[in-house]
Structure 1
């Protein structure tokens, strides 16, 4: 399996790190695109995963300026694309079909080829333009999710919360993340 993983300029880079780690552990080939905004956020936040950490987990890393990259073409087969976190600006580009950088072009190609595109927004409160862009992205074929962990699994750590969101997001691609406790299932996988 081959997935494109986009990281845009919203706070929440630890979510991207958790997803890339899970994808690596599952043996999924990943093509990472990190926007210039995401690079600025990483630098500004200072703590948590940095570009080198994300890059070390990816199978391939593409520059956001490289519109000739493999993932810019619909003929390059992938199982879909994940943008996590997805900034309000990237969401707007997806919603309106703008493809001015590799991240938005790869998202456009994913929709054009009718492959799964999952956008994980991490911003509150949600103003009307963002809500409209979420709806437009949904109508274009994307799955829009929020980085909202559940609590029925009784998390003890931030890592537990990241794991929950990662597992729910990767569910959208038919991937099972080991150790994910589903509602009404015991940790061994049986029904409670």
Structure 2
């Protein structure tokens, strides 16, 4: 019997317009290093935040962005697949083709609201809606403070639907020395939930 080569697991990763794009970009780097295939979605607002919070100059063209990220994170060809926000025929838009895991990191409260109410106005919202309706793993990383009652009600609704709300609230018991250490704290927690081995931060008690 011919044994086919094992295909890498696929994760959908969406970055939206909240502060803290460093979390999402570091997560992308770690997913690539862990040999995951990544469907990458980027909102228009996230592009603005990336331009504000980092020195990255992202190409506007989708194919050029995919090539840029592949080079930036030393990914294999097509390991990172950049999808447009109206690419409705992509795998993530359908329950029969979407990956079993999705992370929205960082998640703006607007995206949080849209996912909680099933708006599906763009591919990020639709992909999250698919994850919920198909009972797949959905991790949402909100970055906002303080939370209003509206935000908290949406988080509660999503938790009851099966999503994991993982706020970008780094701990300090590991005595972080740099901003990168604080970013890695959150990314490590996300990777733990995804079941991906990581050496960014030891588990409690190790």
TM-score by length of 2: 0.84
Aligned: 1:83 with 2:104: yes
Counterparts in 2 of 1:125 and 1:37: CA distance versus 1, 3 Å: same
Is contact 2:21–2:53 with CA below 8 Å preserved after alignment?
Answer: no
8 Å contact kept, 1:15–1:85: yes
**Mapping 1:10-159, distance limit 5 Å:** 10-43=18-51, 45=52, 47-49=54-56, 51=58, 52=65, 55-56=69-70, 57=73, 59-159=80-180
Shift of 1:42: 2.1
Q: How far off is 1:14 after superposition?
A: 0.5
Unpaired segments ≥5 residues, structure 1: 186-192
Aligned equivalents of 1:111, 1:92: Cα separation in 2? 14
**61-70 or 24-33, larger mean C-alpha shift:** 61-70
| Native 8 Å contact 1:13 1:48 kept in 2 | no
Q: Please provide the CA RMSD for this pair.
A: 1.7
CA–CA distance in structure 1, aligned partners of residues 192 and 57 of structure 2: 25
Q: CA deviation at 1:48?
A: 4.4
Deviations 1:115-155 (A, max 9, x none): 10000001101011111111111112211111111112221
Q: What TM-score results when the alignment is normalised by the length of structure 1?
A: 0.89
Q: Verify the 8 A CA contact 1:72 1:109 in the aligned structure 2.
A: yes
What's 1:188 paired with?
Answer: none
How many residue pairs get aligned? The number is 184
Task: Give the direction of change, closer, same or farther, for the CA distance of 1:96–1:27 in structure 2 (3 Å limit).
Answer: same
Out of 152, 166, 169, the residue aligned to residue 190 of structure 2 is 169
SS of equivalent residue, structure 1 residue 146 = coil
How far apart, in 2, do the equivalents of 1:176 and 1:81 lie?
A: 17
